[in-house]
Amino acid sequence: MTAHELRASASLASIFALRMLGLFLILPVFAVHARGLPGGADAAMVGLAMGIYGLTQALLQLPFGAASDRFGRKPVIVAGLVLFAAGSFLAAGADTVLGVIAGRALQGAGAISAAVTAFVADSTRDSQRTKAMAMVGGSIGLTFAVSLVAAPALYAVIGMGGIFALTGVLALGAILVTMFVVPPAPPSELPERPARLREVAMEPDLMRLNVGIFVLHAVQMAMFVVVPRWLVERAGLPLGEHWKLYLLVVVLSFVVMVPPMLWGERQGRLRAVFLAAVALLLSVQLFFFAQPSGLIPLAVLMFGFFAGFNILEATLPSMVSRLAPADAKGAAMGIYNTTQSIGLFVGGALGGWVMQRWGGVAVFAMCAALLVVWLGVAAGQRRWPAPRLAKG
């Protein structure tokens, strides 16, 4: 990568990560916090508050991407960050679950993911684009890990309102990064024709990857409707102490994920690593379904989840960018980001509804069913990226 490409990719990945930070920071704490709010006894409402962000983001993802083609990437990204900050401050002042839902919906309305990934594509050569997209994908996994560790500690100090306000302040900081740190991109090519968009959307192997990101984030959101409560009730771990568990298992999962990823890339065994990671997530859900109790069993399961999640979160966007047609990578990433957002909404809303009707065990059964479907879909993948040779 040239210095220009590295600067553009790193700064844009940090902006993308901030978007996900606004989502992830509430996951480890909100299900427990909501019990003290009007409407917080309704798990369906709690799940909607966690997932509504994904719905508004999904609805506006492609319009924001199209606007960035017409008006430029930076103005659209700044406008989206303004909406995100406004939603954060609205949620910070909310004293009911319904108020949090309104704030989260406004956060998601600043749907800049497609514009950011298109900006990455504009700023990098074809030969370096996969690395740049992998930086964006890796930033999501890293943000998730940081959020899980930081959120319980932040909650103990500044509360839920403070966490929302903090994400608003960070969004304002990201506006400055967009304006003064992200380098200008070269003129972009004309946007893909609508027919080209449909062609990319219906390509079988890309469809399989989009199913994957949908399931991955639906399972993630649904799990965290239940997991924080179970850590309190089944492991006896106070909410303010959850960060210690997350720190341990997240660090270990990052250490464990690297060797199989490198092996899969270099030896042409990415398919085996990918399917094994999906199978690992499925196994975790099945063990959760058995209703384990105690700190150690729950910690082991969380470690397994993070190891599989991090591998897949880093691999999926890289695969999309490598398998998409060279002249339609932006369209492919826009569809991918939209599908991811829909998964976030469905996981939160459906997980909360299932929890309300049948309890936490049923949520893990639902997650297991989704992962069985994904495993079958992924097994039919015909094209896999060529191995990357190790440099001598």
The count of C-alpha atoms lying within 13 angstroms of the C-alpha of 57, restricted to the half-sphere facing its C-beta, is 35
Q: Using alpha carbons only, how large is the chain's radius of gyration in Å?
A: 20
Percent of the chain at pLDDT exceeding 70: 91
- Would you state the pLDDT for residue 193? 53
61 contacts 140 by C-beta, under 8 angstroms: no
pLDDT (0 to 100) of residue 13 = 86
346 torsion bin: left (phi>0), alpha (psi -120 to 50), beta (else): alpha
Higher pLDDT, 318 or 349: 349
Task: Look at residue 322 and tell me whether its pLDDT is greater than 60.
Answer: yes
How confident is the model at residue 365, as a pLDDT?
Answer: 96
Q: How far is CA 253 from the centre of its chain?
A: 17
Q: What are phi and psi of 346, to 5 degrees?
A: -60, -40
Residue 195 pLDDT: 46
The total of other beta-carbon atoms located within 10 Å of residue 161's CB is: 16
| pLDDT at residue 191 greater than cutoff 90 | no
269: left (phi over 0), alpha (psi -120 to 50) or beta: alpha
Q: Which residue has the higher pLDDT, 14 or 190?
A: 14
| Tokens matching residue 295 | 């700190």
| pLDDT tens, position by position, 165-182 | 999 998 898 899 999 998
- Comparing CA positions, the residue from 139, 41, 126 lying closest to residue 329 is 126
Q: Cα(322)–Cα(328) distance, rounded to whole angstroms?
A: 11
- Tell me the mean pLDDT in the region 6-28: 82
Report the alpha-carbon distance of residue 115 to residue 178 in Å, rounded: 12
Q: At residue 194, does pLDDT exceed 80?
A: no
Q: What is the mean pLDDT of residues 95-102?
A: 93
pLDDT at 240: 82
Q: Enter the DSSP assignment of 29.
A: T
Domains and CATH numbers, the chain: 3-179+199-379 (1.20.1250.20)
pLDDT average, residue stretch 340-369: 92
Question: For 124-134, what is the mean pLDDT?
Answer: 70
Mean pLDDT of 82-105: 93
| AA identity, residue 270 | L
Mean pLDDT score of the chain: 85
Q: What is the pLDDT of residue 392?
A: 41
Contact status, residue 106 vs residue 83, Cβ threshold 8 Å: yes
- Eight-state DSSP code of residue 39: T
Taking only the tens place, the pLDDT of each residue in 223-278 is 988 999 899 999 999 888 888 898 888 888 888 887 887 788 777 788 899 999 99
pTM: 0.80
pLDDT in tens, 36-88: 888 888 888 988 988 898 889 888 887 887 788 788 889 999 999 999 999 99
Q: What are the CA-CA distances from residue 219 to residues 40, 116, 118, 348 (Å)?
A: 21, 25, 27, 9
Angstrom distances, CA of residue 277 to CA of 136, 216, 280, 316: 20, 11, 5, 12
Taking a C-beta distance cutoff of 8 angstroms, is the pair 128, 1 a contact? yes
Q: How far apart are CA 285 and CA 222, in angstroms?
A: 11
Q: Quick one: pLDDT at residue 137?
A: 66
User: What is residue 327's predicted lDDT score, i.e. its pLDDT?
Assistant: 65
How many other CB atoms sit within 10 Å of the CB of residue 224? 24
- Residue, of 169 and 17, whose pLDDT is higher: 169
**pLDDT for 246:** 87
Helical H runs in 181-203? 194-202
Inform me whether the pLDDT recorded for 330 exceeds 70. no
